[in-house]
Amino acid sequence: MKDQLRALVDFALPEILGELKLGNLDKDRVPYDVELPKVKAHGDLSTNIAFQLGRTAKKNPYEVAVLCQKVLENAVRGQKRWQGWVQGISVEKPGFINFRLTESSLASKLLDIAKQDQNFGRSDVGRGTKVLIEFVSANPTGPLTIAHGRQAAIGDTLARIFKMLGHEVHKEFYLNDSGRQIGLLGRSLWARYQELFGRKAQIPEEGYQGTYLVDIARELKEKKADSLLKVEETQAIQEATDFAVQSILGGIQEDLARARVIFDEYFSERSLYERALIERALEELKKKDLCYEAEGALWFRSTRFGDDKDRVLRKSTGDYTYLAPDIAYHQWKFERGFKKLVNLWGPDHHGYAPRLQAACEALGHSKDQLKILIVQLTTLYRKGEPVRMSTRAGEFITLRELMDEVGVDAARFFFLMRKVESHLDFDLELAKQKSDENPVYYLQYAHARISSILAYAKQGVEREVDFSLIREGEALDLIKKMLQYPDVLKQAAEHLEPYRVADYLRELAVLFHRFYTFHRVVSDQLPLTKARLLLTDCVRIVLRNGLEILGVSAPKKM
């Protein structure tokens, strides 16, 4: 719709510039917007071009608008392709030019939606761009929390959006399978394991107290009996560590699968060491003279790229900091051909972003090739009271428990319905409620209602219908809304904001419910029934496609 108007304005632009005596102005460089008026009375489409031209021509925007109106009207009259499309052009107060489209041209757009079906919304704006989305990346030291759950829902939905726009998308989970935390995990499990044999064992200071390790210890005992007690302790700890990681990762993958999140790759941190990628990355930095030794440590000159202070890469103990493998990892991402990297992180890492971005720049990539999205935390509420949680004491509600309680659909939808960087209040009672207060059910109900109508009609949906029978305001509003769907996906991708899709679907559902209460779809007037069935089916298509993007089911019955 917008593109069509843009074409019309561009067509008329040379003449308008001539009239304004701006003929020397490059017509491709006039900045103007085409938008949908907020107030319905202002028509179907609108442009602000008169303001832009008024500024350069030093003329009153209203006068410019009137002039544009005349030229545009002539263009519409004289050109066949516009005649059936534009019904009228008007000018409003400060200088807006508004367009009203013909009903039949709107209604006939239903054909496009019906034909494209599950491809409606698809485009190729991202063709040829490889995108890597890294998210969740939880340490395999415990079950996934609701914070991970939100990241999972957001990252996965972003991936689905990018795919619809033609990007080649890779979903990756960075697996921290080496380092201090993993060591602590192994020793904690070792302690739990020994307890099962009546030995007195101490969970290390800062170790993992959570009772889930008791369960894993039981599994370990079942598999290995008492064999770990008979070997050297270092070997026993190594075995316990591997077992713990494998077991916990298995649980993580199960939870993610249930949340409908399937990763393309679990990228092992250990493999960075095995492939000597860290040394290579550091060599490259050294070659560019971006490293120096001081106080026994190796430093990265991140301040050259806008960071507050230089950062240590290798400690005086000889161990790498977390930054070194991370730099190697991101370099490796680029080397695999990805042009666009998106990372989802928790708010506790937000201070870490500048130094990683500095590193990417240092390695010759542009700063905006790496987008770091900080996913804000979620607070659970039960009966208006926040649910207290403490990770350290091992008391938290896991993603699994959340899904058990409210279901996957509600969990995903709630995680997605706010802006990524906004704190999320998650009301457990509301998410469980099967009522009008629950936004998930509202959407799903619209889909179920449509399915029910289509079943009741006992006749297939035909595409050859009399479009002139679709003329009610409620129907035309619905069509206009549906036609926005491809744009919504593009904007959600551009701004990395999946909530826009959720919001849009709610608006679409509102319009459908309204149409439904005012107009019968199935009646004894056959041509009208056919036209409305097509309309209804198109709403079903858009709702289903949108819910698919969110990873929420589209039930036929409720």
Q: Can residue 418 be called a binding residue for RNA (CB under 7 A)? A: yes
Q: Can residue 526 be called a binding residue for RNA (CB under 7 A)? A: no
Interaction with RNA in 458-517: which residues (CB under 7 A)? 491, 495, 497, 503, 506, 509-510, 513-514, 516-517
State the nearest-atom distance from the C-beta of 135 to RNA, in Å: 15
Q: Tell me how far CA of residue 462 lies from CA of 468, 521, 524, 528, in angstroms.
A: 15, 14, 16, 12
Interaction with RNA in 3-62: which residues (CB under 7 A)? 35-39, 41-42, 46, 48, 51-52, 54-55, 61
* CA-derived radius of gyration, the chain: 29
Residue from 125, 249, 297, 408 binding RNA (CB under 7 A): 297
User: The tokens 């304004």 sit on which residue?
Assistant: 20
State the nearest-atom distance from the C-beta of 141 to RNA, in Å: 9
- From the list 166-174, 175-183, 465-473, 538-546, the region that binds RNA by CB under 7 A is 175-183
Q: Where are the beta strands (DSSP E) in 281-368?
A: 291-294, 297-300, 311-314, 340-345
**What's the rounded Cα separation, in Å, for the pair 402 and 396?**
11
- From the list 102-110, 231-239, 292-300, 541-549, the region that binds RNA by CB under 7 A is 292-300
For the CA atoms of 546, 551, 557, 558, the dihedral, rounded to the nearest 10 degrees, stands at: -110
| φ and ψ at residue 174, rounded to 5 degrees | -85, 120
State the nearest-atom distance from the C-beta of 530 to RNA, in Å: 13
Q: Tell me how far CA of residue 213 lies from CA of 70, 249, 378, in angstroms.
A: 76, 13, 25
Q: Can residue 87 be called a binding residue for RNA (CB under 7 A)? A: no
- Mark residue 86 as left, alpha or beta (left: phi above 0; alpha: psi -120 to 50; beta: remaining): beta
Question: Which tokens belong to 254?
Answer: 């199960």
Binding-site size, RNA (CB under 7 A):
85
Residue from 150, 167, 449, 490 binding RNA (CB under 7 A): 449
Look at strands 45-47 and 96-101 and give their pairing: antiparallel
**What's the rounded Cα separation, in Å, for the pair 159 and 198?**
49
State the nearest-atom distance from the C-beta of 496 to RNA, in Å: 12
State the nearest-atom distance from the C-beta of 321 to RNA, in Å: 4
State the nearest-atom distance from the C-beta of 378 to RNA, in Å: 10
Question: Which tokens belong to 496?
Answer: 């990395």
Interaction with RNA in 90-149: which residues (CB under 7 A)? 92-96, 98, 139
Whether residue 174 contacts residue 132, with contact meaning beta carbons closer than 8 Å, is answered with no
Q: Tell me how far CA of residue 390 lies from CA of 209, 233, 393, 514, 534, in angstroms.
A: 12, 31, 6, 45, 53
Nearer to RNA (CB atom), residue 130 or residue 349: 349
Whether residue 280 contacts residue 325, with contact meaning beta carbons closer than 8 Å, is answered with no
Residue from 452, 459, 468, 525 binding RNA (CB under 7 A): 452
State the nearest-atom distance from the C-beta of 123 to RNA, in Å: 17
Contact pattern from residue 334 through residue 373 relative to RNA, giving x for each residue in contact according to CB under 7 A and a dash for the rest: -------------xxxxxx---------------------
Q: Can residue 183 be called a binding residue for RNA (CB under 7 A)? A: no
Nearer to RNA (CB atom), residue 223 or residue 419: 419
Q: Where are the beta strands (DSSP E) in 137-290?
A: 168-175, 265-268
Residue from 5, 237, 375, 453 binding RNA (CB under 7 A): 453
State the nearest-atom distance from the C-beta of 225 to RNA, in Å: 32
Q: Can residue 295 be called a binding residue for RNA (CB under 7 A)? A: yes
Nearer to RNA (CB atom), residue 275 or residue 556: 556
User: The tokens 């034909």 sit on which residue?
Assistant: 115
Question: Which tokens belong to 197?
Answer: 């044999």
Q: Can residue 296 be called a binding residue for RNA (CB under 7 A)? A: yes
Residue from 289, 436, 458, 464 binding RNA (CB under 7 A): 436
Cβ within 8 Å of residue 494, ≥6 positions away: none
- From the list 70-78, 153-161, 360-368, 438-446, the region that binds RNA by CB under 7 A is 438-446
State the nearest-atom distance from the C-beta of 521 to RNA, in Å: 4
Nearer to RNA (CB atom), residue 235 or residue 422: 422
Cβ within 8 Å of residue 364, ≥6 positions away: none
- HEC-encoded secondary structure of 416-476: HCCCCCCCEEEEHHHHHCCCCCCHHHHHHHHHHHHHHHHHHHCCCCCCCCCHHHCCCHHHH
Nearer to RNA (CB atom), residue 296 or residue 337: 296
Q: Can residue 448 be called a binding residue for RNA (CB under 7 A)? A: yes
Q: Can residue 520 be called a binding residue for RNA (CB under 7 A)? A: yes
Residue from 74, 422, 468, 525 binding RNA (CB under 7 A): 422
Contact pattern from residue 299 through residue 328 relative to RNA, giving x for each residue in contact according to CB under 7 A and a dash for the rest: ---------xx--x--xxx-x-xx------
